[in-house]
Every structure is written in C-alpha cells, then in structure tokens.
Amino acid sequence: MNKLNTSGIIGQFAIYGELTEIKAFGSGHINDTFQSRWNQAGSTVRYTHQRINHNIFIHPDRVMDNILRVTRHIAEKNRTNGIPDWSRRSLTVVPARDGKPWARDTEGGWWRTYLFIENAYTKDTTSSPAEARFLGEGIGLFQKQLSDLPPPELHDTITDFHNMEKRYLRFYEALDKDALNRAKEARSEIDFMRINKDRGASLVCALHEKRIPYRICHNDTKMNNILIDEKDSKALCVIDLDTVMPGTSLFDLGDLIRTVSNSAAEDEQDLSKVDFDIAFFESLLEGYLSQANDFLIPQEIELALESGRNITQIMALRFLTDYLEGDHYYRIRRPSHNLDRCRTQIALIKMMDLKWEIAQKIVHKLTQ
Ligand code: ADP
Ligand code: GN1
Ligand code: MG
C-alpha cells in the first residue's frame, strides 16, 4: 500500500493534529504494521497502525472485541493498583471517528490503531539469563492478570490454532498434493515429522482428557511479542493480541521456551548455532513461575518442559506445510525461508532431546 493510501486510512482514526510521518515498522510474519508521527499543538506523539491479516483472521471484529476486553481489563487493574506507568503496560486502542475499534479501507482491508508505546523495544534472540527471567515474568503476569476476566468467554479467533492433530492432517494433504514439487527438497524434515507425530499430541491430549484446564492465554508468545522497557530491561507490555483466547497456559510457556531458550534466531541457516540454552531456560522458567505459581496445578507443571518441545514441533510442522503449499501464510524474505525456519525448529528439538534430563532436573528443582 502506498503512502497516500495509508494516510487516507489513518485519517479515519480519531487523532488530533498534523500527520508528519508514516513508515512501515516491525518484523512480524502476519500483519502489516506502520508507525505514524503527529504534531499535536507542538507536542510530538506517535501511533501504531496495523492492517489486520484478513485471510488469517476471518472475523477481525471478533479479534478487536477480544483485544478491547483484554487490554481494558489489564489497564484497569494496573491503574487501580497504582502501578506506575500503567498506560505503557497494556495496549490502548484508538477508536475510529465513528467510534468503532477499526476502520475499513477502500480495498476491504481492516485497520486498527494503538498508542505507540515509547521507550521500549523488542528482541528476536536472548542476550542474558536476566533478560530471559524478565520475559518469563512478563508472560506469567499477563496470564495471571487475565485469570479473572469476567465472562463471556473470549472468541476463538483461529479455530484449532494449536491443535496438532489438525495441523498434521493439513500437512499430509499438502504433502499428497505437493503442488510445487517441493517435497524432494525436504525429505529428511518430512521424515522427522512423520516419526515424531505421536509425541507431538501431548498438550492437546492433556486438554481434551481434562487433565489440564482451559485458561485464557496469548497463544503467540514468541519473544518479539513482548515490549521490553528501555529503563530497566524488564518486560513492559505484551503485544500482538490477535490470538488471545482460551487454551492452555502451556501454549504460552512452550512458545517462550522455543524462542527465549534458542541461542539462535528462528530462521538461522547455520544449524550449528542452534542450541537449547539451559541457563536461559532455567531463568525463563524461574521468571514465569514467580507469577504463574499462583495458579498452575501440578499436572501443568509436569508438562512444562514438554510444552517447549511441543510448540517447537508445531511450528516446524506449520513452516514445513507452508513451504509445501507455496508460502501463502508466513511472510518470507527469501525463497526457502519457511524450509529454513522448519530446519531450525527441528535442530532445536534435537538439542532439547539431548538436554532433556538436565532440563527436567531444573523443572523439579524450581517446583519442589
Ligand atoms: P505481527 O502480528 O505482524 O507480528 P505485532 O503486533 O507483533 O505484529 O507488531 C509488530 C511490531 O510492531 C512489534 O514487534 C513491535 O516492535 C511494534 N509494535 C506493535 N505495537 C506497538 C505499540 N503499541 N507500541 C510500540 N511498538 C509496537
Ligand atoms: C506468527 O504474528 P507473529 O509474527 O508474532 C504466528 C505464530 C508463529 C510465529 C512464528 C497468527 O506470529 O503462530 O508462532 O509467526 N502467528 C499466527 O514466528 O499464525
Ligand atoms: Mg508479532
């Protein structure tokens, strides 16, 4: 979308002052994100605008309904508890001029606007155990703050999002079709997925068999969906809330383990750099439990380590499926990007397997 069109849609939101700049922003795989700068009677303020990926979120109105409820709940809690800087600790939706939490462009797209949270940043890889601890704490707190969200239930914004069985069905379909004749490039990854199918179902089975409870969770807690405060390097605000819906807390812990404990980036091509960093894992879990211990039950704790392997496997499978289907889902920046991402996830699973016992001892140590 060119700049002119972008300013047109941005003009639909209830923002005062002169627009001085718009630019593309962020590195997410799903939505299109822009940042705008305004002169409001001499003060400079910034906003975040996003075109919601309408192919993936087929009911953007329901997504926004969830986001409003969740962000208001957290903001209200922080405000009434006197938490300093509360307006930077949850996203604030800026309504359109007609009062709706979204605006539509002339091409049928759905847009939303948030206050831009200043003096914060995101990271794709972890630099220190302290950073890992803060990220864990941030997601534990987010889940805790939402544990008393009043009914009704949040909408399911993507059906069966982490349902491994359904993800496997789609993978086998893509493999049968092999529409782009790409399976030959991914033989060993396909074999890995086949061999490990059963163990991949453990979280979903535990949910379906009611061994662990449904809770409100984020469902997409890769580390760059957490804004970090420049002031103290602590987790400041959990963003990218499109998938906040009922699930298990372990989906969130699992995606944190996948991204925070990996010593390399999600799409690292040099697989010798991919490692399951035990020090990061320990600090992450410690930080997460410092908040989540208040509500987790033993059956959830039992699956803590497994959650990391499980979510890593689901991501490997989803990247591979998208590669076979022709890269329709994830944004790519090179031809085999999705295959590279899949390979990194598999390398990480293998490192987790290798360090399983030591990691399990850490779980026991932290939960005794
Ligand atoms: P995607 O779904 O594409 O991953 P995100 O919601 O994660 O999109 O946003 C992409 C990036 O934009 C984030 O990683 C973050 O850097 C930045 N961002 C998003 N919302 C805000 C905000 N309210 N304030 C500051 N930065 C933001
Ligand atoms: C997508 O939106 P983003 O880039 O934070 C994806 C996640 C994957 C992630 C892998 C709605 O997250 O499920 O874990 O890519 N989000 C959706 O990087 O599919
Ligand atoms: Mg994101």
The predicted-structure confidence for 185-227, as pLDDT tens digits, reads as follows 999 999 999 999 999 889 999 999 999 999 999 999 999 999 9
Check if the beta carbon of residue 125 is closer than 8 Å to that of residue 213: no
Q: How far is the CA of 242 from the centre of ligand 3 (A)?
A: 9
CA distance readout (Å), 66 to 112, 186, 216? 13, 38, 11
Give yes or no for residue 259 CB within 6 A of ligand 1.
no
Other CB atoms within 10 A of residue 366 CB = 16
Residue 2 has pLDDT above 60, yes or no: no
Q: Which alpha helices (DSSP H) does the chain contain, by range?
A: 3-10, 60-80, 129-146, 164-177, 187-195, 202-208, 249-260, 278-292, 298-302, 304-325, 337-354, 356-367
Instruction: Give the mean pLDDT of the chain.
Output: 96
pLDDT of 32-69, one tens digit each?
999 999 999 999 999 999 999 999 999 999 999 999 99
Atom of ligand 2 nearest to the CA of 224: 5
Other CB atoms within 10 A of residue 44 CB = 11
Q: How confident is residue 171, by pLDDT bands cut at 50, 70 and 90?
A: very high
Question: What DSSP designation does 367 have?
Answer: H
pLDDT of 254-267, one tens digit each?
999 999 999 999 99
* Ligand index nearest the alpha carbon of residue 241: 1
At 8 the pLDDT is: 86
CA distance readout (Å), 107 to 110, 127, 250, 281? 9, 42, 38, 45
- Return the SS3 of 184: helix
Beta-bridge partner residues of 111: 51, 103
pLDDT of 348-361, one tens digit each?
999 999 999 999 99
Averaged pLDDT, 268-281: 98
Cα angle 64, 287, 317; round to 5: 60
Beta-bridge partner residues of 39: 18, 44
Q: How far is the CA of 329 from the centre of ligand 2 (A)?
A: 10
- Return the SS3 of 35: strand
**Whose C-alpha lies nearest to ligand 2, atom 12?**
29
* Ligand index nearest the alpha carbon of residue 247: 2
Q: Residue length, the chain?
A: 368
Averaged pLDDT, 234-239: 98
Q: How confident is residue 368, by pLDDT bands cut at 50, 70 and 90?
A: confident
Query: Does this model's pTM top 0.75?
Result: yes
Q: Which helix (H) or strand (E) holds 217?
A: strand 215-217
CA distance readout (Å), 274 to 27, 312, 352? 21, 13, 11
Nearest in space to 175 (alpha carbons), one of 153, 194, 160, 147: 194
**Whose C-alpha lies nearest to ligand 1, atom 5?**
240
pLDDT of 55-106, one tens digit each?
999 999 999 999 999 999 999 999 999 999 999 999 999 999 999 999 999 9
Strands 215-217 and 103-104, by their bridges, are unpaired
Check if the beta carbon of residue 290 is closer than 8 Å to that of residue 366: no
Q: Which of 25, 27, 29 to mutate to test the pocket of ligand 2 (most atoms within 8 A of CB)?
A: 29
* Ligand index nearest the alpha carbon of residue 34: 1
Q: How far is the CA of 237 from the centre of ligand 3 (A)?
A: 12
At 4 the pLDDT is: 44
At 28 the pLDDT is: 83
Atom of ligand 1 nearest to the CA of 117: 24
Q: Which helix (H) or strand (E) holds 20?
A: strand 18-24
Q: Which of 50, 54, 93, 240 to mutate to test the pocket of ligand 1 (most atoms within 8 A of CB)?
A: 240
Other CB atoms within 10 A of residue 280 CB = 25
Q: How far is the CA of 224 from the centre of ligand 3 (A)?
A: 6
For residues 124 and 226, give the distance between their C-alpha atoms in angstroms, rounded to a whole number: 10
Other CB atoms within 10 A of residue 301 CB = 20
At 5 the pLDDT is: 61
